[in-house]
Every structure is written in C-alpha cells, then in structure tokens.
Amino acid sequence: MSEVIAIEGGNKLNGTVVISGAKNATVALIPAIVLADSPVTVYGVPNISDVDALGVLLKELNCKVEKNEDILVVDPTNLENIPLVGEAVDKLRASYYFMGALLGKCKKVTMKMPGGCFLGPRPIDLHIKGFEALGAKVDYSNDGTYTIEAKRLVGNKIYLDFASVGATINILLAAVKAEGKTTIENAAKEPEIIDVVNLLTKMGAKIRGAGTDTITIEGVEKLNGCNHEIIPDRIEAGTFLIIAAAAGEKVIVQNIIPQHLEALISKLKEMGIQMDVVGDSIVVYGREGDLKPVNIKTQIYPGFATDLQQPLTTLLTQASGDSHVKETIYIERFKHCPQLNKMGAHIDLKEAESIIHGATQLHGTRVEATDLRCGAALVVAGLIAQGRTEITNVYHIDRGYENIDHKLISLGAVITRRQVED
C-alpha cells in the first residue's frame, strides 16, 4: 500500500501556518545524543518519518526513547554498540551521523551505507577522509557495510574539498571526544550545524567557530545529558513562503528565523512578491498579475538553498518570461521538471540547469513525487493548477514536512489523502 495526496487547485489561501523544528538539524541531533553518558531531552522535534526511523536505530542501540508530541527524551546510558545493518538505516541518508557519533563515543562503528533521496551521486568520501585523519581505520565490505575503528582518536587538521554539511557534522561528532585539537577547514556554515554544535556544547564539548568556515574542537573526556530546543525548519518555512506567494491572499508564516531565508526572500521580492517581516513571522501578500522571472544559482549557505530550488521552480512557471535555475550542489536535482511539464509547465533542461518559460497555466493530473523536494514542488503546483492533481509516493513528502496536508487545509486548501494498492 502507498498513499496519494489529491489537491483541488485554485483556492486562495489565508491564515497562519506554524513552522516545525528543522529536519536537517533533528536528523543530526538525534544520533549526536549517543555521545552523552546520561539522558538528553530535545524540544521542538518535528513529527516526520525520518525521526521515527532514527528512533528505531536508537532502540537497536539499547537507548531508552520516549516521544511525547514534539518532546523527545533519549537515555543512552546503557548503549550497546551493535552493527547497524537493518532496514531502518535505508530510510534516510542521515543515518550516517551514527558513524561519527558511535566512532566518537565507542571508537568503533559498523553500519551499512544509508539510503535517502536520489539526487545524483552522493558519496561520503569526505566523511571517511575526516575519520581517517582522526586515526580511524575504515573497511568497506562488498555487502555495503562500513567498519570504522580506532585504537585512539587524535585531533588533527582536516580540510574539506567541498563545504559538505554532512561531512562537517560527522567529523564534529567523531572529534568531540578525541585527544587534543581538531580543526575543520572549509567547513559548511549551515544553521543546522550551529544547532548541532549548540547541543554538543551544552553536553560539555569545547567547539569554536560554528557558522564560519573554520571550526575548532578541543576533545573532552566526558559528555553529559542536557536539554535542547531545535531551530525552526528554514526549508519548510521557505516552502510555505513559496506556497503563499503562489496561492495566498494573506498568509502568515510563523516561527521562523528570517536571517536563515535571506536568499529566498530577496528572490521573491525580485519577482514582485509583497512581504512584511514581523519578528519571527513573515506576512506574504497574494500576487496581483504575473510575476517577474529571475535567475537562481544554488550555493552553500548563506547562498540560495538547493532544497528550495525545486519548489521555487513551480512559482517560476507563473513568471512572465524565462527564468534560469543553475544547480551547483546536486547537478541531477531536476526530476520535478518532467512532472511539472506534465501539468502544463514549459521547462527545458540543460547540464545542471533548467530554463522555465513562463507564464503557463498549470492543469491537474496524476504526478509522481520522485524525492522530498520534488514532492514539495508538486504540492505548490497542485494548489495553483486548474482541476485536481494527484501526487503519488507521498512518503517522500512525509519525510520532511510535518502534516503538510493538515497545515494547508487550515489555510483553506482542498486536499485529501488516501491509501492505494501499489
């Protein structure tokens, strides 16, 4: 069985939507908890399937896990470092944060290569390079299992060839209890990294420079339990700003950190969208007439987020003229374009680039969510298309958006969800 979301397009949206905790911080914070020797409580945990999958892995490691709405309490006191080779690892790429966390805590980890969205090649060579620099031996067996082990973990200077979010976080997790000083150069600067560092610092880690391209870590002997509140999800927030721009009359997007969305806000204003930033909310006013085309080039933070180019592509189909989207992070992240073309968009694809010829009237039909943010792009399309849009493989969307249909229904969208035979 799988689920299909059906959207009747054309309704104008009004009201307030509250953004949940950041998925891409949460999926790193949860594995980081195993580094503590006592219980950790995390507030603002989003109700998404990636969190469920990580909970299964924590229980496999004999951690006590209690979740009550958006509060997660994890007790890693009796951690058992067993090989992580079950199907829960396949549910999300971020399972690999258990590599850094278990290596950092136990000096050994065995786990299979994780799964996640297909966005083109997604190697973990920079993660492995970091572990080896700290003194770990990395074996990869042909059944796809990594065994990573170190007699001692000793701080080192590590230069990342690419400012990889995952590698920066995984190396941090492995280094916080290593002997001596570790420096990560050309580190990623995403807000989710700062959130993970805030948790580790509360545990007793000694880390400086998070949010800059050079992070230093002084290894410590012991890390303790603590309390932590997750930052709001800037990608969910950005998705709802795009939804409001596409289908809203007056929509308030609440619980955001505007600074995390500067690149998107600037592009939406360039397109002619009227917005007011009011504290931790942004008010988006409905578009009058066609929008102006813009050119997007995805970059590492604080540049334009690759995760938002897919939903923004849908809005660009409503701009009068040609818009260009250039991907520099995931060069194959364009599987949403053929699906949008099925709905009447006119998008051409080139090497790591899409050209959106607008404005085009979209019409409802059956489309497939091929990955998480493709799903988001199709939800935006369904909301503005004429007629009914059916989106299959909704599990992709549920990985990263908490109750997206309920949040949209509360804004006035006409959405239903149903089970279908595979």
| Residues contributing to the site for ligand EPZ (CB under 6 A) | 23-24, 27, 93-94, 117, 121-127, 162, 164-167, 188, 235, 306-307, 329-330, 372-373, 400
Residue 163: CB minimum distance to ligand EPZ, A: 7
Identify whether 226 is a catalytic site residue.
no
Residue 360: CB minimum distance to ligand EPZ, A: 25
Cα 129 to Cα 103, 134, 247, 339: the distances in Å are 14, 9, 46, 38
Fill in the amino acid letter for 260. Answer: H
CB nearer to ligand EPZ: give 129 or 181: 129
Encode 39-68: b = buried (16+ Cβ within 10 Å), e = exposed. Answer: bbbbebbbebbbbebbbebbebbebebeee
Q: How far is CA 304 from the centre of its chain?
A: 14
Residue 98: CB minimum distance to ligand EPZ, A: 13
CB nearer to ligand EPZ: give 272 or 302: 302
Residue 10: CB minimum distance to ligand EPZ, A: 28
Distance CA 290, CA 183 (A): 49
Distance CA 119, CA 396 (A): 13
Q: Smallest Cα–Cα separation from 296: which of 268, 261, 272?
A: 268
Residue 394: CB minimum distance to ligand EPZ, A: 15
Q: What is the dihedral of CA 409, 415, 421, 422, to 10 degrees?
A: -90
Helices (H), 213-305: 234-247, 262-271
What is the 8-class DSSP label of residue 161?
S
CB nearer to ligand EPZ: give 127 or 326: 127
Residue 164: CB minimum distance to ligand EPZ, A: 3
Tokens 């880690």 belong to 205
> Which residue among the candidates 63, 106, 117, 374 is catalytic per the annotation?
117
Cα 261 to Cα 48, 51, 368: the distances in Å are 22, 24, 28
CB nearer to ligand EPZ: give 248 or 400: 400
CA angle 362, 386, 342 (to 5 degrees): 35
CB nearer to ligand EPZ: give 182 or 359: 182
CB nearer to ligand EPZ: give 287 or 326: 326
CB nearer to ligand EPZ: give 88 or 167: 167
Give the CB-nearest residue to ligand EPZ.
Answer: 166
β-bridge pairing 366-368 and 388-392:
parallel
Distance CA 188, CA 166 (A): 9
Fill in the amino acid letter for 8. Answer: E
Fill in the amino acid letter for 356. Answer: I
Residue 257: CB minimum distance to ligand EPZ, A: 16
Residue 196: CB minimum distance to ligand EPZ, A: 10
CB nearer to ligand EPZ: give 30 or 102: 30
Q: Smallest Cα–Cα separation from 52: which of 5, 101, 91, 83?
A: 91
Distance CA 372, CA 399 (A): 7
Radius of gyration of the chain (CA): 21
- At 10 the three-state DSSP class reads coil
Fill in the amino acid letter for 270. Answer: E
Q: Which residues have a catalytic role annotated?
A: 117
